[in-house]
Structure 1
Amino acid sequence: MAVTDVAAAMSPVMAFAIVGALGVGSQWLAWRLRLPAIVLMLAAGVIAGPVLGLFDPERDIGPLTGPIISVAVAVILFEGGLTLNFRSLRDAAEGVKRLVFIGAPLGWLLSALALRWGAGLSWESSAVFGGIMIVTGPTVIAPMLRTSRLARRPAQLLQWEAIVNDPIGALAAVLAFEVVLVVRTAETPGTVIWELAMGIGLAVLFGLAAGFGLAWAFRRNKVPEFMKVPVLFAVLLAVFAISDTVLHESGLLAVTIIGIVMANADLPSYDEIRRFKEQATVLLVSGVFILLAASLDFSTLAQLDWRAAVFVALVVLIVRPVTVFLSLMSTSLPFKEKLLVALTGPRGVVLVAVAGLFGDRLFGLGVGDGALIGPLAFVLVAASVVVHGFTLAPFARLLGLTGAETPGVLIVGGSQFSTELAEALKEAEIPVLIADPNRGHLTAARKIGVPTFYGDILSEAAEYRVETAAYKIVVAATDNDAYNTLVATDLAPEFGRENVYQVAREKSDTTRHALPASLGGRRFGAGATYNNLNRKVWNGWEVRITGLTEEYGLKRWRRDNPDALMLAWIGRDTEIHFIGDADAPRDIPGRRIVSVAPPREAARAEAG
């Protein structure tokens, strides 16, 4: 059957299945290949849509495409607002305020000038589209930050700017459009100002009322635990719909405010809600990008000429850097952080969705070049996503604004074994940090120059002082099995469950003390417990790193070290991989084995 026949016979259910498969599949493939997920999603949507004709949202989903994208964008912005805890803004507060209060209007002006003199649009279209271009796209920034492992402060600047400025950009476009409406129709300025004030005021009021109302209901247990997420979704959609009815795009402001209010309400169930929303957002971002890319019409892109390239270059190389540097002028931020933020401004879903809407409205009012806004928006999004997606991580590494080049190990629990392990990894040039709330447990590590953190790794202080982006693996190795399990369970969503390990529990084999498999981290060291490992070190055993070669392979190593406990292996790229119970290490020349082994003298005596 031909591709066109399959496409013609596609049902809406099959269309949704294709969107899910392409979106989530692109995210998974990007994770496997360590590529920017947004780039693969755009490519997948374009190939499935205009290139092969397999999927056409307008044909296969119909009039629901627009509302689906609008609702998805609303949920994405709410999830973004849900991450904006004011306590986390300590170091970046000044920069964020300037990027919002100075950067937004300045970016609007400079973007409008770039559209007028670069793309050649009319002043009307330039003013409306320039307002939309304030946004930098949380749907794009979030995946980029996840893969680039930026230092905390520049990451906070980019994240807060993207989420706060998204609804502001949409409202700026509304303001500019209403001005055009006054000029082109019989609408009076007084009426327009009243409608704008009423719409924005009600959006803020709805957002605050819903946010504080939900926080009150959740804190006072007025909603059962199993219904909190459904109630949250229902209220969110209702507020978005009502606000948007009063004033187009004001619903984006309302849902963002709900998220920010709930993020700062200290709810007991906040972590569970946030994690669920993060997972939902991954699905929604994937779906929206596939829908937008598949909706692309090559004939509309054909309307663009060389001036579109000039416009994109102006935005990326002049408008964004000038906006950021002027906004952050005289702040205490280091120059390299300003430079990174200035050269990072990818656009995302909100820009394309809102630009397409206002482009159609302008065209309907008789502004002919309004039809070019949609194609220009897509070109800007595609170009910025590709450029920043591939350059952010290496550029941040060049500036020294990421975690270490080599992913490190965070060891929770200061003991003799932890100190020996940290010292061996440090000598192997693998970043390592030992955290413990008992200062005395860290004395030995500090004496040999191993970095330490005095405090609870789950505390708020650790959140601000420990650069978790520098570490890939967590090893919970305290003398408290319950605390090890708590640490591994709490940090698993952030680091990935496959990267969180803990020493085996002393009484895990008895029914009375066994914990569910869903709690805790992976075991390593052949199931050795805290006491097993430390007793061996007290008896003179060493944490040793041994390289494998063509001549000296894994079999020979095992023969020479029959009693050794294999902990991990280090690849040629200096990336460390701990060995879980179910892992079978492979015999590959160039790898280095990390183990706890008897003293060499004792091993030679036994062999003799």
Structure 2
Amino acid sequence: MSVASEVAGLGPVNAIALVGALGVGSQWLAWRLRMPAIVLMLLAGLIVGPGLGIFDPARDIGPLMKPMVSIAVAIILFEGGLTLDFHSLREARIGVRRLVFIGAPLGWALSSAALHYAAGLGWAASTVFGGIMVVTGPTVIAPLLRQARLQQRPAKLLQWEAIVNDPVGALAAVLAFTVVLVNADTQTVGEAVREFTVGLGFAAVLGLVAGWGLSESFTRGFVPEYMKVPVLFTVLIAVFAASDAVLHESGLLAVTVMGIWLANAELPSYEELRRFKEHATVLLVSGVFILLAANMDRETLFAMDWSTLAFVAVVVLLARPITVMISLIGSDVPMNERILIAMTGPRGVVLVAVAGLFAERLVGLGYADAAEIPALAFALVAATVVLHGFTLAPLARWLGLTAYGPAGVLIVGGSRWSAELAKALEGAGLPVLIVDRNRARLRTAREAGLTTYYGDILSEDAHNALDLVPYQKVIAATDNDAYNTLVATDLAPEFGRENVWQITRANEDSRRHALPVTLGGRELGHGLTHLELGNLMLQGWRFGRTKLTDDYTFEQWQAERPDGIPLMELTDDTIRLLGKEHPPRGKSGMTLLAMLPPKDETTRRD
């Protein structure tokens, strides 16, 4: 008996559980292997779907699949809109405007030409699918940007273009399909124009009204804190459904506009809402990619030929670069950033989902060649995801647009201890940034030539002005324990809780002052508070680095310096901070950074 027949009764519950396990499992495995997660998700979907026949969405989920994918895409785009804070645009504003207003129409025209001349589709199918190809996929761009560690401006350009152009591409396809309907005599020109204009206007107004209504309700306290996320989800789905009922695919525009409004409404609970949406989006992106890959059938995959390859090559090597280069002529975007953006255009779930919908409608109108659209869409998504997944980071490094290199340390709190620690880290070749709200406390660091920032690390200005990509670890080391805890708690989701540390709080051992484990960071300094560390510096303690080898082990170092305080273990690509609950590993090849008493100033160094 075949595997497919054994699992023929796989029901919706088991199918959804399988999708979740494969999606999240692929993301975790990609994190462990340092590979693009999207690639593994596509591979997993193809294996369990057309490969082994274990999972067939049409069979196991049935009519639920399309609405599930549609709602998932709407939530993904809304979350993308939530990241589009106008204050963060600044330097990238001109580039984004050109990529949207010039790049989208030009990309539509060039993509349609590629479909007609390379893939052999008729002009009707080419024009409709060409509009959808304007999108560059926020579902793909976000994980690629995290992996590549791009500099701030090119990352913002790619992010804004992907999110804004997604609804634009879907609406371009709607416009082209409306023209096809007019040519097929199913609609008059007046009816088509009226339907499209009303639908477009309704979507934009509905998104604005919903965003304004939510922001006012949340700000004025009309919605209790524990109900904000449920209310947000309910309104989001209602807005998407209402807009789509007026004009197909306009719901994507409505939810994106709603997300952008909320991103710029300065809501007190904005961060909590955004982070929850990010978590939901990780699950949805995983699920949607597994579903779309598993939904491909073997006949469609085997039908791909040299014309499919030619189509993908023309889009990636000609249509995308020409679109970007022409769009950015005369802008202030440097040439290396233009090249990176021109060679980076991954497509995602919106392309495949919307393409399948319009393909069915075109075939129903008698355009038989439109049946090839789903295969072409999947080929373009798979090729660009794999290509850019493996080439974006190397290309960015070659162009000098990445923070590639040794991972650094962000120290919050200026003091003599912070300055000396930063000097020791810079001596090991690591980037360091010291941030403090008090300019006077940065004086020692500035005099030592260290990189500093005067301001609050939690402020909006710091978020927009600082490029934090080069820094892997955070050390909260001010003289205010409560502020250190706040910094560690706020930055933990961005850097990862395992990478956020703070010096020991005074009264740490008192049950009266004990904090929940959800607050603060890991403890650095083996129980020494800010005051105690400062006193050690006044007594002449210094930082030293020692290279551990097979001939000179950690045990020998410890025997020679029984009073030394190990703080970090450094390797070529990692920084491991040490504390009472995270003792040294002492492996050969590591560089041990420690605080040493005055008698040990002449320590062995690199």
Q: Structure 2 length as normaliser, TM-score? A: 0.97
Alignment of 1:70 onto 2:76: no
1:345-372 Cα distance to aligned partner (Å, 9 max, x none): 1000000000111111111111111011
Paired residues of 1:129 and 1:373 also in contact (CA < 8 A): yes
State the 1:531 CA deviation: 1.7
Task: Give the counterpart letter for 1:267 in structure 2.
Answer: L
Task: Give the counterpart letter for 2:129 in structure 1.
Answer: F
Q: Which residue of 1 aligns with 2:308?
A: 308
State the 1:602 CA deviation: 7.9
2-side partners of 1:143 and 1:204: how far apart?
A: 28
Q: Which residue of 2 aligns with 1:536?
A: 536
1-side partners of 2:318 and 2:601: how far apart?
A: 67
Task: Give the counterpart letter for 2:192 in structure 1.
Answer: V
Alignment of 1:163 onto 2:159: no
2-side partners of 1:173 and 1:97: how far apart?
A: 21
2-side partners of 1:584 and 1:6: how far apart?
A: 51
Task: Give the counterpart letter for 1:316 in structure 2.
Answer: V
Task: Single out whichever of 60-69 and 551-560 deviates more from structure 2.
Answer: 551-560
Paired residues of 2:9 and 2:60 also in contact (CA < 8 A): no
Q: How does 1:86-101 map to 2 (within 5 A)?
A: 86-101=86-101
Q: How does 1:555-594 map to 2 (within 5 A)?
A: 555-571=555-571, 573-594=572-593
Q: Which residue of 1 aligns with 2:15?
A: 15
Q: Which residue of 1 aligns with 2:144?
A: 144
Is the partner of 1:119 in helix, strand or coil? coil
2-side partners of 1:356 and 1:159: how far apart?
A: 25
Alignment of 1:114 onto 2:114: yes
Task: Give the counterpart letter for 1:24 in structure 2.
Answer: V
The runs of at least 4 consecutive aligned structure 1 residues that moved more than 6 Å come to: none
Q: Which residue of 2 aligns with 1:514?
A: 514
Paired residues of 2:539 and 2:598 also in contact (CA < 8 A): no
Is the partner of 2:435 in helix, strand or coil? strand
Is the partner of 1:434 in helix, strand or coil? strand
Paired residues of 2:87 and 2:464 also in contact (CA < 8 A): no
Q: How does 1:259-298 map to 2 (within 5 A)?
A: 259-298=259-298
Is the partner of 2:91 in helix, strand or coil? coil
Paired residues of 1:125 and 1:362 also in contact (CA < 8 A): yes
2-side partners of 1:522 and 1:398: how far apart?
A: 36
Is the partner of 2:516 in helix, strand or coil? coil
Q: Structure 1 length as normaliser, TM-score? A: 0.97
Paired residues of 2:137 and 2:346 also in contact (CA < 8 A): yes
1:116-148 Cα distance to aligned partner (Å, 9 max, x none): 111111111110010000000000001111111
State the 1:586 CA deviation: 2.2
1-side partners of 2:563 and 2:2: how far apart?
A: 62
2-side partners of 1:584 and 1:178: how far apart?
A: 66
Q: Which residue of 1 aligns with 2:598?
A: 599
Is the partner of 2:589 in helix, strand or coil? coil
Task: Give the counterpart letter for 1:362 in structure 2.
Answer: L
State the 1:580 CA deviation: 3.9
Paired residues of 2:135 and 2:166 also in contact (CA < 8 A): yes
Task: Give the counterpart letter for 2:506 in structure 1.
Answer: E
Q: Which residue of 1 aligns with 2:419?
A: 419
Q: Which residue of 2 aligns with 1:348?
A: 348
Unpaired runs of 5+ in structure 1? none
Paired residues of 1:397 and 1:405 also in contact (CA < 8 A): no
State the 1:467 CA deviation: 0.8
Q: Which residue of 2 aligns with 1:466?
A: 466
Paired residues of 1:304 and 1:372 also in contact (CA < 8 A): no
State the 1:512 CA deviation: 2.5
Q: Which residue of 1 aligns with 2:54?
A: 54
Task: Single out whichever of 557-566 and 340-349 deviates more from structure 2.
Answer: 557-566
Number of matched pairs? 603
Is the partner of 1:8 in helix, strand or coil? coil
2-side partners of 1:492 and 1:601: how far apart?
A: 35
Paired residues of 1:476 and 1:501 also in contact (CA < 8 A): yes
State the 1:584 CA deviation: 3.7
2-side partners of 1:521 and 1:587: how far apart?
A: 23
Q: Which residue of 2 aligns with 1:29?
A: 29
Q: Which residue of 1 aligns with 2:409?
A: 409
2-side partners of 1:538 and 1:155: how far apart?
A: 44
2-side partners of 1:341 and 1:533: how far apart?
A: 47
Q: Which residue of 2 aligns with 1:372?
A: 372
1:7-51 Cα distance to aligned partner (Å, 9 max, x none): 213221111111100001111111111111111111111111111
State the 1:404 CA deviation: 4.3
Paired residues of 1:408 and 1:472 also in contact (CA < 8 A): yes
Paired residues of 1:403 and 1:467 also in contact (CA < 8 A): no
Unpaired runs of 5+ in structure 2? none
CA shift in 2, pair 1:322/1:603, >3 Å: closer
2-side partners of 1:131 and 1:72: how far apart?
A: 21
Q: Which residue of 1 aligns with 2:213?
A: 213
State the 1:562 CA deviation: 1.0
Is the partner of 2:569 in helix, strand or coil? strand
Two-structure CA RMSD over aligned residues (Å): 1.4
Alignment of 1:39 onto 2:36: no
State the 1:461 CA deviation: 2.1
1:240-274 Cα distance to aligned partner (Å, 9 max, x none): 11111111101111111110111111111111111
Q: Which residue of 1 aligns with 2:363?
A: 363
2-side partners of 1:43 and 1:344: how far apart?
A: 21
Paired residues of 2:300 and 2:375 also in contact (CA < 8 A): yes
Q: Which residue of 1 aligns with 2:431?
A: 431
- Percent identity between the aligned chains? 61
Is the partner of 2:88 in helix, strand or coil? helix
Task: Give the counterpart letter for 2:508 in structure 1.
Answer: S
State the 1:5 CA deviation: 4.6
Paired residues of 1:523 and 1:580 also in contact (CA < 8 A): yes
1-side partners of 2:545 and 2:6: how far apart?
A: 57
